[in-house]
């Protein structure tokens, strides 16, 4: 299985998605430092939100096969600039979280991820497991199959 590093702002759902991908019971806690597991790297939102800490995210892409850029469907704006994926030396996928919430604007989140440069986008509700099997299946695929 290929390894996925998750990046996104605080409360985008990175830790909840990590727990869902690992088949763990979902419980909230604030990620304070990088958690490097067998198939996923969970990063604190502050790393993506800070220019200084953002450089550390670039280093963690070297330990992963795929970069997962998370945007919550309820976020008021995107922290990812246009074509940011070209800065990664790995494949980048978009992940829209919190799709189940009444105020979710999935189409807007999709647009932000497309503008950031994501070609493949997944929609997830980590609490219910929606979209999680699709991400796991994608991580199992041979990279040549995704071209």
Each residue's pLDDT tens digit, 129-140: 999 999 999 999
Please tell me the predicted confidence (pLDDT) of residue 146: 55
d(CA 123, CA 138): 13
So what's the pLDDT on residue 147?
Answer: 56
Query: Could you give the strand order of the β-sheet that contains 4-7, starting from the edge strand earlier in sequence?
Result: 35-36, 40-42, 4-7, 66-72, 91-97, 120-123
Token pair belonging to 97 = 């979280």
Q: Where are the domains of the chain?
A: 4-142
Closest CA to 44 of 83, 2, 10: 10
Query: How would you write the pLDDT of the chain (147 residues) with one tens digit per residue?
Result: 999 999 999 899 999 999 999 999 888 877 777 888 889 998 888 777 777 666 677 777 878 999 999 999 999 999 998 998 988 888 999 999 999 999 999 999 999 999 999 999 999 999 999 999 999 999 999 777 655
Q: What is the total residue count of the chain?
A: 147
CA distances from 128 to 36, 67, 105, 122 (A): 24, 23, 18, 15
Question: In the CATH scheme, what is the code of domain 4-142?
Answer: 3.40.50.300
The 3-state DSSP class for residue 101 equals: coil
- CB of 17 within 8 A of CB of 124? yes
| Per-residue pLDDT at 52 | 66
CA Rg value for the chain? 14
């Amino acid at each position: 299985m290929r390894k996925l590093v998750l990046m996104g702002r605080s409360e985008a759902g990175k830790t909840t998605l990590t727990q869902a991908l690992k088949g763990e019971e979902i419980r909230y806690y604030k990620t304070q430092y990088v958690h490097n597991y067998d198939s996923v790297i969970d990063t604190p939102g502050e790393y993506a939100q800070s220019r200084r800490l953002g450089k550390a995210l670039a280093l963690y892409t070297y330990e992963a096969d795929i970069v997962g850029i998370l945007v919550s469907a309820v976020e008021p704006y995107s922290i990812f600039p246009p074509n940011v994926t070209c800065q990664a030396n790995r494949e980048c996928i978009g992940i829209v979280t919190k799709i189940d919430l009444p105020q979710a604007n999935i189409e807007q989140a999709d647009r932000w991820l497309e503008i950031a440069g994501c070609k493949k986008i997944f929609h997830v509700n980590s609490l219910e497991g929606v979209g999680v099997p699709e991400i796991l299946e994608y991580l199992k695929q041979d990279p040549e199959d995704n071209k």
